[in-house]
């Protein structure tokens, strides 16, 4: 299937590895020019070099820095000649007990996982609407639908973003101009983040292998997701075929969410 987005420009945040990188690879494979970001310049440049060598027909630009910082967002927007596609992503907030979190912890989580995507969206959607094409994909979490108690900062901040997107996506000045906004909700994907979570979870038993196996077996698909399949879904949402999908929360979790709806 031709996704019809060759030559478009995308900003993909937090994309030197994991799910963000999966999205950048899938978009690059469709001929989309990329501006990618992550905090660590060395690994970001490695990812960019890999993308350039795999997809020589596209341009790949990099902006190193924390996407939660206004100056980094400005640099991202300046590096992209025209934002047709925006993939919002950032690291997830740390786990813990809400009794130990203070206002600063909450502001940090809200900043990274709610306000940063909203600021970037604010900067790009009206231009997208004027041009009659725009795709925004926010990488959130399956925890938005089935909260994980130790991830309270994530549950809270991402739910705030989810509520905001639900309203914004339905504005006719956006949806009626072929601008879509959707959230992609990963379950357990085999990335560095998952490895860290599994290591933390196995600290009590001391058995990482058993913890990993138990987590895998709790998923109907009996495996962890691959960033490539996550990226493919993202690219489809960003394609010309995705114009009638907006305001949705789309789970990719191997059937882990147990509800009917």
Shortest reach from residue 132's CB to ligand NAP, in Å: 30
Among 9, 133, 189, 233, binds ligand NAP (CB under 6 A): 189
Question: Taking CB under 6 A as the rule, does residue 39 contact ligand NAP?
Answer: yes
Among 28, 156, 186, 242, binds ligand NAP (CB under 6 A): 186
Binding residue count for ligand NAP, defined by CB under 6 A? 30
Question: Taking CB under 6 A as the rule, does residue 85 contact ligand NAP?
Answer: no
Question: Taking CB under 6 A as the rule, does residue 198 contact ligand NAP?
Answer: no
Name which of 66 and 126 has its Cβ closer to ligand NAP. 66
Q: Which among 87-95, 103-111, 118-126, 165-173 is the span making contact with ligand NAP, rule CB under 6 A?
A: 87-95
Shortest reach from residue 14's CB to ligand NAP, in Å: 3
Q: What is the DSSP string of 154-200?
A: HHHHHHHHHHHHHHHTT-HHHHTTTEEEEEEEE-SBSSHHHHHHHHH
CA distances from 249 to 183, 196, 261 (A): 5, 25, 11
CA distances from 85 to 119, 143, 210, 240, 246 (A): 15, 25, 40, 11, 14
Among 45, 50, 66, 126, binds ligand NAP (CB under 6 A): 66
Among 191, 211, 239, 246, binds ligand NAP (CB under 6 A): 191
**Nearest to residue 13, comparing CAs of 58, 66, 79, 53?**
66
Q: Which among 3-11, 48-56, 125-133, 134-142 is the span making contact with ligand NAP, rule CB under 6 A?
A: 134-142
Is residue 152 within 8 Å of 101, Cβ to Cβ? yes
Q: Virtual CA dihedral for 111, 128, 21, 114, nearest 10 degrees?
A: 20
**Dihedral sign from CA coordinates of 245, 194, 143, 109:** negative
Question: Taking CB under 6 A as the rule, does residue 112 contact ligand NAP?
Answer: yes
Shortest reach from residue 61's CB to ligand NAP, in Å: 15
CA distances from 195 to 13, 70, 188, 189, 190 (A): 21, 30, 10, 9, 7
Name which of 22 and 178 has its Cβ closer to ligand NAP. 22
Which regions of the chain does DSSP assign to beta strands (E)?
9-12, 33-38, 60-64, 85-88, 134-139, 179-186, 249-252
Among 17, 138, 159, 178, binds ligand NAP (CB under 6 A): 17
Q: Euclidean distance between the first and final Cα of the chain, in Å?
A: 29
Q: Which among 24-32, 35-43, 80-88, 98-106 is the span making contact with ligand NAP, rule CB under 6 A?
A: 35-43
Among 8, 9, 12, 18, binds ligand NAP (CB under 6 A): 18
- Interacting residues toward ligand NAP by CB under 6 A: 14-20, 37-40, 43, 66-68, 89-92, 112, 139, 141-142, 186, 188-189, 191-194
């Amino acid at each position: 299937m031709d996704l019809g987005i060759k030559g478009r420009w995308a900003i993909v945040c937090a994309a030197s590895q994991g799910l963000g990188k999966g999205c950048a690879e899938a978009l690059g494979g469709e001929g989309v020019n990329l501006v990618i970001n992550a905090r660590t310049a060395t690994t970001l440049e490695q990812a960019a070099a890999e993308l350039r060598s795999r997809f020589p027909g596209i341009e790949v630009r990099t902006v190193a820095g924390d996407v939660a910082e206004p100056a980094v967002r400005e640099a991202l927007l300046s590096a992209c000649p025209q934002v047709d596609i925006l993939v919002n992503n950032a690291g997830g907030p740390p786990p813990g007990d809400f009794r130990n979190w203070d206002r600063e912890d909450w502001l940090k989580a809200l900043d990274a996982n709610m306000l940063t995507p909203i600021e970037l969206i604010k900067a790009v959607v009206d231009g997208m609407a004027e041009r009659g094409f725009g795709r925004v994909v926010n990488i959130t979490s399956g925890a938005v639908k089935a909260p994980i108690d130790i991830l309270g900062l994530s549950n809270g901040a991402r739910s705030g973003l989810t509520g905001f997107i639900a309203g914004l996506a339905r504005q006719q000045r956006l949806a009626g101009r072929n601008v879509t906004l959707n959230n992609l909700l990963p379950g357990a994907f085999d990335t560095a983040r998952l490895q860290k979570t599994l290591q933390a979870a196995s600290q009590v038993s001391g058995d990482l292998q058993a913890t990993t196996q138990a987590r895998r077996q709790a998923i109907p698909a009996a495996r962890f997701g691959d960033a490539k399949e996550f990226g493919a879904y993202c690219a489809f949402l960003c394609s010309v075929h995705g114009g009638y999908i907006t305001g949705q929360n789309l789970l990719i979790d191997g059937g882990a969410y147990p509800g009917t709806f």
